[in-house]
Structure 1
Amino acid sequence: MKKLSLIFLIITFISCKNESKYYESDKDKINTEISSSSKATEKTNTSLQIVEPVKWTTKTKKISETDYELIIVANIEQGYHLYSQKVPDNGPLPTVFIFENSDDYGLIGTTSEEEGRTVHDPTFEMEIKSFKNKATFKQLIKLKNKNSKIMAEIEFMSCNDTQCLNGYSDIEFQI
């Protein structure tokens, strides 16, 4: 949309500055082309929708002077489900947490998750653990430097009755 606006401004500027170089019919043709292009872009923009059925939030909980619990919450849109970190072979993509390496902290163990629900998944035709509505994941860390920023990435898959979507999100914790 920004490119289209910029093109429109350039054409308008050129046509105003060099008004005597264009015949009236040429100006109408340019305006018609810009108008048509603008309408086509509007139609394209309204038909393309980014579907993000999982939204992530984070918070921290102080356990001791150096130990913290990183809490990651997935808010899952109604009708969708998010898969566990542990899924069977040949199944969906698992939820994966990738913490940035840093000298400011160390991970203690692995990321834990809620119990969830294990049901027969018709898409993959197997028993798979997943979460509906909301899921909470926790990671313990040992802090080595105060006032640290912890960065992580989440890769995941969520599905509804008609489609599965691969997702990716960056998350951050400030301690």
Structure 2
Amino acid sequence: MKSILITIYLFTLVITASFGQILKPVQWNFSSKKLDDKTYEIHLTASIGPGWHIYSQFTPKGGPVPTTVTFNKNAAILSLGKPQEAGKLQQKMEKAFDMEVKYFADKVDFVQVVKIKTQTPQNFSGTIEYMVCNEKQCLPPAEEDFTLTLR
């Protein structure tokens, strides 16, 4: 009787754990590359799980949530232009939004060039907001915060 109760308990635990899994199909890596004495490339790199995709920054209104990069203000750092997208940009008609959408699968790198105005190390921080979808579902928009020290 005791072994039956233990078996039922373990079975229930396994079932409960499988329903409680959180989907996180995108893993982020944040890095910087020094180009010269005061200029850096900031890399916000998404590794996207099989079957999933995230949308371009340049998604039209009325469609899915576009990827948005927001940088926190730092008077000692100047952003040069807007973040550029490096990856295999794909396009398709998305019935759910009744429009052509642009997205990335597998991997995408959002690259921002910045210049520091001082000789001292500076923290460059911000948030990237994105929405990830597959053929069956879209997850709610998510945010990832990042901080990089530029030396």
TM-score (norm 1): 0.71
Letter in 1 for 2:36: S
**Aligned twin of 1:152:** 126
Confirm or deny that 1:172 pairs with 2:147: yes
Q: For residue 64 of structure 2, give the secondary structure of its aligned residue in structure 1.
A: coil
Question: Superposition RMSD on alpha carbons, in Å?
Answer: 2.2
- The answer on 1:52 being equivalent to 2:27 is no
Distance 1:99 1:41 in 2: 43
- Distance in 1 (alpha carbons) for counterparts of 2:52 and 2:121: 37
**Which of 130, 139, 164 does residue 112 from structure 2 map onto?**
139
Partner of 1:95: 67
Displacement of 1:123: 2.9
Identity of aligned residues (%): 32
Match of 1:86 among 24, 40, 58: 58
The 5 A counterparts of 1:104-119 are 104-114=76-86, 116-119=89-92
TM-fit CA distance, 1:111: 0.7
Query: Aligned AA for 2:138?
Result: C
| Count of residue pairs brought into register by the alignment | 140
Q: Which moved more, 1:46-55 or 1:63-72?
A: 46-55
Q: Which has the larger radius of gyration?
A: 1
Measured after TM superposition, the shift of residue 168 of structure 1 is 1.1
Unaligned runs of 5+ in 2: 1-8
Q: Secondary structure, in 3 states, of the residue corresponding to 1:154?
A: strand
Query: Are 1:162 and 2:136 counterparts?
Result: yes
Distance 1:104 1:45 in 2: 47
The higher-RCO structure (CA 8 Å, 6+ apart) is 2
More strand, by proportion: 2
Which one is further off, 69-78 or 106-115? 106-115
Could you state the TM-score of these two structures normalised by the residue count of structure 2? 0.82
- Alignment partner, residue 95 of structure 2: 122
